[in-house]
Amino acid sequence: MYIFGLGNPGLEYGETRHNVGFLFLDYINSRYLKVPEKHESEYVWFRGRIKGETLTFIKPQTYMNLSGRVVWSLKKEQVAPEDVIVAYDDAALPLGKIRIRPGGSSGGHNGITSIINAFNGNDRFARIRIGIAGAQGEHEPLRDYVLDTFSSDEQALLPDIFELSWKALITLVTEGPEKAMARFNGRAVERPEE
């Protein structure tokens, strides 16, 4: 099973909302796996065994709009859409919410569009959509918002959001998308009261 976390390479993008897929994979490795990353020409990866399953975690290094190129890099391993779970930012979901989907359209997300295209239009790969929408997102263009960094209050929520996403990922891998959707699509990490 392959877990793609989407983002943009480079220090200037490191902590941006659009890189929440990268940040999620970094959280998993630092908290649970603690293994060295390996570098290929178009992606960074690490591997771990979780509940008897071998998972390969991949951060494409081709920029978001070309995320699907990693699929071509993995063709020799005969990766099928059903072998892939993609974690990525969703500006339509509020920060603190995640949503599991077993497949479907890209919803306008260029990284997902690129992966669907790389699978010749097959969209049957599971997704963990991690909400990034906040109040300031209503007042600036979406492109600027997703490429902006999280506020300090938002950053404080990320570990809890990533822990919720991690539990959803484990459920996806071990019990399938239906159970994961039923268990996690209605849940959210709450912001502390002001």
Strands 38-39 and 43-50: antiparallel
Q: Mind listing the pLDDT tens digit for each residue in 49-61?
A: 988 899 999 999 9
Catalytic residue, candidates 18, 39, 109, 139: 18
**Is 39 one of the annotated active-site residues of the chain?**
no
Q: Which domains does the chain have, with CATH numbers?
A: 2-184 (3.40.50.1470)
Q: How far is CA 26 from CA 36, 68, 87, 168, in A?
A: 11, 20, 12, 16
Tell me the longest C-alpha to C-alpha distance in the chain. 52
Please give the pLDDT value at position 193.
Answer: 56
* Ranges of the chain with pLDDT below 50: 137, 194
Residue in 39, 60, 56, 40 with CA at minimum distance from that of residue 48: 56
Share of the chain above pLDDT 70, in %: 93
Helix axes 20-28, 152-175, angle to 10 degrees: 70
Please give the pLDDT value at position 191.
Answer: 67
